[in-house]
Amino acid sequence: MNKLDALNEMKRQIGYSEMEQVLSYYNIRVIRKKMLCPFPGHNDRHLGNCTLTDRGYVYCFACGRKASAIDMVMMNENLEFVPALEFLWTTILGRTLPEYDKPEKRKYPVLSVKDLSFIGLNSPSIKYVRFYINLSEDKDEDLPKDCYMDRDGLDNFGIYKKERSNSFFDLIENDPKTAKGIATAKCKDTEKYYLGILKDLDDVSTEYGKTAAFDAGFKKDSKEYCLSQIEKCKFIMKKINKIHY
Ligand SMILES: [Zn+2]
C-alpha cells in the first residue's frame, strides 16, 4: 500500500473511542465528557472547561487549545506526526501497522511517558512546572511578577510560581549521554527496589517477610507482582541501551 494512503486510512479510523483510549493511557480521567485540561501550562483545577467532543477532540474553552488523539500523542511522547501515529496505532490501540514502506529509522528509541514515569522520571514532556512559594491569608495580597495565587484553598491561599523546565525528551535529543546516565540510574534503582522487596519476602526479620510467613497468598501475589515489575525494568533498560551518542 502507498504510505500516504495507509496513513490517511489510519487517521480516518481514529475517532471518539480511540481518543478515549489515549486519555486512559495517559491516566486522564473523563467524567461525563469533561476532564481537567491536559495541555501544558494550564493548571486546571475545575471540571467544566475542557471537553471531549463527539468527533474525538479535546477542546479547552479556557485556554483555547484543541487536540486530536494524534496531537495528544505528539505532545506526550515528543514525536513527529508519523511516528506519533504509529505509536498510537501499535502501543496504545494495539493494532498492527498496515504494510507500507518501512517506517523511517528513528534516531532514538521511543521511551514512552509511561516508561519514564515508571522509573520515576515524571512529566517528561511537560514544559511548565509550578513551584510552591508560600501561603497567604489575604486573597488580595500583591504578588511579585510571575507569581499567582491558588484561590481554592480553605483558610490559606497557596502562592505559586510557574517556571519553564526543560523536558527529559529535550535532554535525550540535546545531551543523550547525560539523559542515558540519568535514565539508567533511575531504571536500576527501580529494579533494585523490587529486588529488595523480593528478598524481604523470604526474610522473616523484615515487615514483608513477617506478613509473608503467615500469609501464603500475600507472598505469592507479592512475588508475582515484583517479578513483573522487574521484567518491566528490563524491558525499559533495553530501550535505554539503544540511546547512542
Ligand atoms: Zn486548558
pLDDT digits (tens, 9 = 90+) for 57-89: 999 999 899 999 999 999 888 888 988 999 999
Q: How would residue 11 be classed by pLDDT, with cut points 50, 70 and 90?
A: very high
d(CA 11, ligand 1 centre) in Å = 24
Q: Are residues 134 and 147 in the same domain?
A: yes
d(CA 91, ligand 1 centre) in Å = 26
Whole-model pTM: value is 0.52
Q: List pLDDT tens digits, range 33-52.
A: 999 999 888 888 888 889 99
Instruction: List the CATH number of the domain containing 75.
Output: 3.90.580.10
Report the pLDDT value the prediction gives residue 163, as an integer from 0 to 100. Answer: 64
Q: Are residues 154 and 200 in the same domain?
A: no
Look up the domain containing 176 and give its range.
169-241
Would you say 92 and 21 are in contact if contact means Cβ atoms under 8 Å apart?
yes
Q: Which three cell numbers stand for residue 203?
A: 526474610
The answer as to whether 181 is a domain residue is yes
Burial zone of 45 (CB within 10 Å; 0-12 exposed, 13-18 middle, 19+ buried): exposed
In angstroms, the CA 229 to CA 29 distance is: 24
Q: List pLDDT tens digits, range 203-245.
A: 999 999 999 999 999 999 999 999 999 999 999 999 899 888 7
Report whether pLDDT(107) > 80: no
Taking CA 182 as the corner, what is the angle to CA 201 and CA 194, rounded to the nearest 5 degrees? 5
d(CA 85, ligand 1 centre) in Å = 23
Q: Are residues 22 and 54 in the same domain?
A: yes
Nearest to 208 by CA among 230, 199, 225: 199
Counting Cα atoms < 13 Å in the Cβ hemisphere of 161 gives 10
Helix axes 176-200, 216-241, angle to 10 degrees: 160
d(CA 46, ligand 1 centre) in Å = 10
